[in-house]
């Protein structure tokens, strides 16, 4: 059959062949494809479907599933792109075919239905594939997605699986020089929505779908395919009005959706299952897990309580205990992390860190009065060491130690992870969209005046009422990450690790070189602690870079905002007086080939000189402390050099410098580290070090505080002090 022959050629095509005019099909097929009028393909397609239906009938009767079903397993068990954010079938306007599309003009409000016919191929940031519409016409598809820069060929093929049934929203045919001809242009990954991975079958048996789905879910860990198969099972059950198996299918689909972290959808499934059988134990257990994922800790606790009463298994008992603990944490802000801090002096591996619930304490987002956009403010007065906020990362990435990734790759990895989280949850997407974003051209922050409702970030709130359907906009999210990442980077960590991530509510913290909160990380959670006693309505501020450096390019570059705090103003005012010291300080720290003893010698002399200046100009005590903090490394070298010599009378005591650091930049792991370089473990210094530890990690008992200090001191044993200097400075 001629039609079948053409079809087979198309089946054997690779998307590469669609680029740049290199095309392996015979002349006739090529001409037919390029003109979008492939005579005979409709007939061939029908025939193929009959054949595949016959094949499937055989595999069903044998209880095996083989043939044209590819494996789309995501190694992380997460959904690939594009995945529908909101089921858009209901919002579809009109169905169009390729023949209805006018080249060069987008067709808003319409949708093109079809199947992907070749394995997708990556070409820079474009995925190339071919779509066949309902009338058998073919078009190249160019799907643009900045993520593809970082995707492998296999990943792109998995994202656009051959054989997938897709909907293309607002289709547009463009003349693409890239492939010398017309192509469907898909600029938003969610505009190309995969509605199913499997060829639609004319007849389906619910039991077969159910067992295939279970196999995909339990054995192959292919959660998207599993969810899709359970959907088909449910469709069949609904069509024949069979309610008996509905509960099982709904719960199984909910389990698949849990794995995909699509908690809202999982919850909707189990609610339906419980409406059919309110005593179904499995539904209740899955409901508990979905509520836990949605951070509705109170409701998840009561679910698990019911479950544990029915079946006293250790798994359900521990889920109940965890849920109860999360509920306590999120409601009262009480977290006992002593075990975590005591384990190896706080230096525990990330995967052994305890999971923590989100907590929103006495804070609110509000507009600043001086053009710094929105900020985080206190709603009541607090005392030092009080926990203000705990926020779990939307996404977090660690460098691969075996293969150090380039910054650009790290950003791509983070962006991918954030997008996945946004696709899984509309609430996460709404949180991310509330954040500041950078202008891609100027790199400057685009002013946003909208103050988000706190409810958006609070745990234990029910499902979110979205005013509008939020669409995933990759460019917008990339711009948000550029802004947040550069300013709110996870550089300050108790266990000094280099990681990046996105934490939404803490991203409203503005910068100040006189910070008033402590920020540290426990696993995925970021904890914000009051580093000073503060009145209600005080704006909470953290330092974006190291606050232990002078106001010169060094500090300014590391914080990346034009800071107008009092400390910066003072150093600007004294720029002339401090020029010489500042320049010599920079030169010393940039000198690469200096012997360490000479480096400390010269840096120590700078401290003496600075101290003279401090006394020459008339300064308040706090102002002196700010300057000493800025040049604290010079003081460190001075004391190192003079440890055995007679101290110069004009110089302050080590304890004075440590006190200056604590009062200027409290709640900063580098402050604690620098203080540890200055102070021994004696009784006299314990109070000071402990105060700094409270500002960073919240109030702890003496034993825990000592463990945290030990961890900060750890690197002190490392003989290369210069290494610690760079760590403190940058
Ligand atoms: C992480 S966001 C902080 C929240 C932000 N103000 C908002 O409205 O969403 C970082 C951005 O806030 C602004 N910002 C933060 N601290 C600032 C400061 N001390 N001075 C000026 N702008 C600041 C800058 O535009 C920066 O790019």
Residue 508 CA, closest ligand 1 atom number? 4
Render pLDDT for 463-479 as a digit per residue (tens, 0 to 9): 777 666 677 777 788 88
Q: Which H or E run contains 602?
A: helix 596-616
- Our separate counts of H helices and E strands in the chain read 26, 21
Would you say residue 161 has pLDDT above 70? Answer: yes
How big is the chain, counted in residues?
A: 730
**Does residue 82 come out as left (phi exceeding 0), alpha (psi in the -120 to 50 range) or beta?**
beta
Split into its structural domains, the chain has a count of: 4
Give helix 41-62 / helix 2-11 axis angle, nearest 10°.
70
488 CB less than 6 Å from ligand 1? yes
Written as six digits, the tokens of 128 are 């190339």
Please report which confidence band the pLDDT of residue 500 belongs to, taking 50, 70 and 90 as the band edges: confident
Q: Dihedrals φ, ψ of 515, to 5°? A: -65, 155
Would you say residue 645 has pLDDT above 60? Answer: no
Q: CA–CA separation, 212 vs 233, rounded Å? A: 10
Render pLDDT for 655-669 as a digit per residue (tens, 0 to 9): 999 999 999 999 988
Render pLDDT for 618-640 as a digit per residue (tens, 0 to 9): 899 999 999 999 999 999 889 87
481 CB less than 6 Å from ligand 1? no
Nearest to 655 by CA among 494, 701, 705, 647: 647
480 CB less than 6 Å from ligand 1? no
Q: What is the ipTM of this complex?
A: 0.99
Within 10 angstroms of residue 536's Cβ, the number of other Cβ atoms is 11
Average of pLDDT values for 716-725?
A: 60
Task: Quote the pLDDT of residue 9.
Answer: 37
Say which DSSP state 716 is in: G
Render pLDDT for 383-431 as a digit per residue (tens, 0 to 9): 999 999 999 999 887 765 544 433 445 666 677 778 778 877 889 999 9
Q: Choose which residue among 510, 513, 517, 572 to substitute to test ligand 1 binding: the one with the highest number of ligand atoms within 8 A of its C-beta.
A: 510
Tell me, yes or no, whether 529 and 606 share the same domain. no
Tell me, yes or no, whether 299 and 412 share the same domain. no
Tell me, yes or no, whether 367 and 500 share the same domain. yes
The helix/strand/coil state of 126 is: strand
Would you say residue 296 has pLDDT above 50? Answer: yes
Å from CA of 620 to ligand 1 middle: 29
Is 10 contained in some domain? Answer: no
Task: Quote the pLDDT of residue 649.
Answer: 67
Tell the residue nearest (CA) to atom 21 of ligand 1.
Answer: 372
Tell me, yes or no, whether 604 and 703 share the same domain. yes
448 CB less than 6 Å from ligand 1? yes
436 CB less than 6 Å from ligand 1? yes
Task: Quote the pLDDT of residue 177.
Answer: 67
Which CATH number does the domain housing residue 188 bear? 2.40.50.140
Q: Choose which residue among 369, 373, 375, 483 to substitute to test ligand 1 binding: the one with the highest number of ligand atoms within 8 A of its C-beta.
A: 373
Is 721 contained in some domain? Answer: yes
Average of pLDDT values for 421-445?
A: 87
Radius of gyration of the CA atoms of the chain, in A: 31
Please report which confidence band the pLDDT of residue 58 belongs to, taking 50, 70 and 90 as the band edges: low
Domain limit, last residue, from 330, 359, 386: 330
From residue 160, alpha-carbon distances to 72, 78, 263 in Å are: 10, 15, 24
Å from CA of 89 to ligand 1 middle: 40
Written as six digits, the tokens of 428 are 């996460």
In the chain, helix, strand, coil percent, each to 5? 50, 15, 35
489 CB less than 6 Å from ligand 1? no
| Beta carbons of 295 and 459 less than 8 angstroms apart | yes
377 CB less than 6 Å from ligand 1? no
Tell me, yes or no, whether 161 and 187 share the same domain. yes
Is 375 contained in some domain? Answer: yes
| Beta carbons of 195 and 165 less than 8 angstroms apart | yes
* H-only helix segments in 240-296: 246-259, 263-276, 281-293
507 CB less than 6 Å from ligand 1? yes
Which CATH number does the domain housing residue 257 bear? 1.25.40.10
Tell me, yes or no, whether 168 and 232 share the same domain. no
- The domain of 155 spans 27-72+92-196
Å from CA of 372 to ligand 1 middle: 5
Please report which confidence band the pLDDT of residue 348 belongs to, taking 50, 70 and 90 as the band edges: low
Is 485 contained in some domain? Answer: yes
Tell me, yes or no, whether 53 and 122 share the same domain. yes
372 CB less than 6 Å from ligand 1? yes
Average of pLDDT values for 339-352?
A: 69
Q: CA–CA separation, 593 vs 583, rounded Å? A: 18
* H-only helix segments in 591-701: 596-616, 621-630, 632-641, 654-664, 669-678, 683-697
% the chain with pLDDT above 90: 34
Please report which confidence band the pLDDT of residue 571 belongs to, taking 50, 70 and 90 as the band edges: very high
Mean pLDDT for all residues in the chain:
77
Least confident of 50-54, 317-321, 530-534: 50-54
| Beta carbons of 129 and 143 less than 8 angstroms apart | yes
Whose structure tokens read 């509520």? 291
- Chain Cα centroid distance, residue 396: 5
Nearest to 398 by CA among 385, 413, 379: 413
Task: Quote the pLDDT of residue 148.
Answer: 65
pTM of the predicted model over 0.80: no
Across-strand partners of 182? 175
Please report which confidence band the pLDDT of residue 698 belongs to, taking 50, 70 and 90 as the band edges: very high
Would you say residue 541 has pLDDT above 50? Answer: yes
Task: Quote the pLDDT of residue 682.
Answer: 66
Please compute, for residue 101, the number of CA atoms within 13 A of its CA located in the half-sphere on the CB side.
33
Task: Quote the pLDDT of residue 366.
Answer: 97
Is 345 contained in some domain? Answer: no
Å from CA of 477 to ligand 1 middle: 17
Q: CA–CA separation, 237 vs 249, rounded Å? A: 9
514 CB less than 6 Å from ligand 1? no
| Beta-sheet strands, E only, within 474-524 | 500-502, 510-511, 517-522
Average of pLDDT values for 309-318?
A: 86
Tell me, yes or no, whether 324 and 375 share the same domain. no
Q: CA–CA separation, 405 vs 402, rounded Å? A: 9
| Beta carbons of 70 and 84 less than 8 angstroms apart | no
Is 374 contained in some domain? Answer: yes
Render pLDDT for 575-606 as a digit per residue (tens, 0 to 9): 999 999 999 998 988 887 888 888 888 999 99
Give helix 206-214 / helix 223-239 axis angle, nearest 10°.
160
Is 31 contained in some domain? Answer: yes
Three-state SS sequence of 504-573: CHHHHCEECCCCCEEEEEECCEEEEEECCCECCCCEEEECCCCCCCCCCHHHHHHHCCCCCCHHHHHHHH
Tell me, yes or no, whether 435 and 309 share the same domain. no
Average of pLDDT values for 267-276?
A: 95
Which CATH number does the domain housing residue 531 bear? 2.170.270.10
Position with higher pLDDT, 14 vs 530: 530
Domain limit, last residue, from 196, 218, 244: 196
- Chain Cα centroid distance, residue 505: 13
511 CB less than 6 Å from ligand 1? yes
Would you say residue 613 has pLDDT above 70? Answer: yes
Give the largest Cα separation in the chain, rounded: 102
Å from CA of 306 to ligand 1 middle: 46
Domain limit, last residue, from 497, 523, 542: 542
Task: Quote the pLDDT of residue 165.
Answer: 77
Render pLDDT for 24-51 as a digit per residue (tens, 0 to 9): 333 444 444 333 322 333 333 333 344 4
b/e map of 368-384 (b: 16 or more CB within 10 Å)?
eeeebebbbbbeeebeb
Q: CA–CA separation, 696 vs 711, rounded Å? A: 13
Position with higher pLDDT, 646 vs 16: 646
Render pLDDT for 193-207 as a digit per residue (tens, 0 to 9): 776 665 454 456 888
Tell me, yes or no, whether 286 and 215 share the same domain. yes
Tell me, yes or no, whether 532 and 579 share the same domain. no
Tell me, yes or no, whether 361 and 466 share the same domain. yes
Position with higher pLDDT, 435 vs 110: 435
């Amino acid at each position: 059959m001629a039609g079948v022959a053409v079809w087979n050629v198309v089946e054997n095509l690779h998307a590469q062949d669609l680029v740049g005019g290199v095309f392996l099909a015979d002349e006739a097929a090529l001409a037919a494809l390029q003109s979008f009028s492939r005579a005979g393909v409709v007939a061939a397609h029908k025939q193929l479907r009959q054949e595949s239906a016959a094949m499937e009938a055989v595999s069903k009767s044998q209880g095996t599933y083989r043939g044209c079903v590819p494996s789309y397993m995501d190694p992380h068990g997460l959904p690939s792109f594009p995945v529908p954010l909101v089921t858009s079938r209901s919002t579809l306007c009109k169905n169009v075919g390729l023949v209805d599309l006018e080249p060069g003009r987008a067709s808003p409000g319409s949708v093109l239905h079809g199947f992907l016919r070749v394995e997708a191929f990556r070409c820079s940031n474009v995925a190339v594939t071919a779509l066949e519409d309902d009338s058998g016409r073919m078009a190249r598809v160019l799907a643009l997605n900045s993520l593809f820069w970082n995707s492998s060929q296999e990943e792109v093929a998995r994202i656009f699986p051959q054989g997938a049934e897709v909907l293309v929203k607002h289709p547009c045919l463009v003349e693409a020089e890239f492939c010398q001809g017309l192509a469907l242009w898909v600029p938003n990954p969610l505009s190309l929505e995969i509605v199913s991975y499997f060829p639609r079958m004319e007849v389906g048996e619910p039991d077969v779908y159910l067992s295939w789905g279970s196999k995909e879910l339990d054995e192959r860990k292919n959660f998207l395919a599993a969810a899709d198969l359970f959907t088909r099972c449910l469709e069949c059950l609904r069509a024949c009005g069979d309610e008996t198996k509905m509960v099982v299918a709904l719960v199984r689909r909910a389990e698949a959706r849990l794995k995909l972290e699509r908690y809202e959808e999982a919850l909707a499934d189990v609610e339906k299952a419980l409406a059919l059988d309110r005593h179904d134990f499995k539904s209740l257990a899955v409901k508990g897990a979905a509520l836990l994922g949605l951070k509705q800790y109170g409701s998840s606790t009561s679910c698990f309580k019911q479950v544990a009463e029915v079946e006293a298994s250790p798994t359900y008992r521990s889920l109940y205990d965890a849920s109860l603990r999360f509920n306590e944490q999120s409601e009262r802000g009480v977290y006992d992390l002593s075990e975590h801090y005591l384990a190896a002096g706080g230096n525990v591996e990330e995967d052994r860190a305890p999971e923590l619930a989100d907590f929103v304490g006495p804070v609110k987002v509000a507009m600043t009065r001086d053009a710094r956009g929105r900020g985080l403010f206190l709603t009541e007065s607090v005392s030092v060491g009080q926990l203000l906020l705990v926020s779990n990362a939307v996404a977090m990435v660690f460098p691969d130690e075996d293969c150090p990734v380039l910054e650009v790759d790290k950003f791509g990895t983070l962006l991918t992870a954030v997008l996945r989280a946004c696709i899984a949850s509309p609430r996460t997407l709404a949180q991310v969209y509330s954040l500041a974003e950078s202008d891609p051209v100027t790199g400057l922050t685009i002013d946003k005046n909208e103050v988000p409702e706190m409810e958006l970030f609070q745990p234990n709130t029910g499902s979110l009422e979205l005013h509008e359907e939020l669409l995933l906009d990759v460019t917008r999210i990339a711009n948000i990450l550029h802004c947040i990442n550069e300013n709110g980077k996870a550089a300050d960590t108790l266990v000094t690790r280099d990681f990046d991530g996105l934490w939404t509510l803490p991203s409203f913290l503005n910068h100040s070189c006189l910070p008033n909160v402590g920020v540290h990380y426990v696993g995925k959670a970021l904890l914000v602690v009051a580093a000073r006693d503060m009145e209600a309505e005080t704006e909470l501020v953290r330092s974006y870079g190291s606050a232990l450096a002078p106001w010169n390019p060094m500090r300014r570059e590391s914080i990346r905002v034009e800071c107008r705090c009092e400390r910066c103003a003072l150093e600007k005012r004294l720029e002339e007086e401090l020029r010489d010291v500042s320049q010599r300080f920079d030169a010393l720290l940039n000198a690469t080939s200096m012997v360490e003893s000479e480096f400390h010698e010269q840096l120590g002399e700078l401290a003496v000189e600075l101290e003279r200046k401090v006394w020459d100009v008339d300064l308040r005590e706090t102002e002196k402390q700010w300057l000493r903090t800025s040049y604290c490394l010079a003081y460190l070298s001075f004391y190192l050099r003079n440890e055995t010599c007679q101290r110069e009378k004009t110089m302050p005591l080590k304890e004075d410098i440590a006190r200056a650091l604590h009062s200027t930049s409290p709640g900063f792991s580098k402050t604690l580290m620098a203080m540890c370089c200055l102070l021994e473990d004696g009784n006299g210094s314990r109070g000071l070090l402990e105060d700094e530890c409270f500002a960073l990690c919240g109030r702890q008992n003496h034993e825990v505080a000592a463990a945290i200090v030990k961890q900060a001191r750890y690197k002190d044993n490392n003989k290369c002090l210069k290494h610690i200097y760079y760590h403190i400075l940058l």
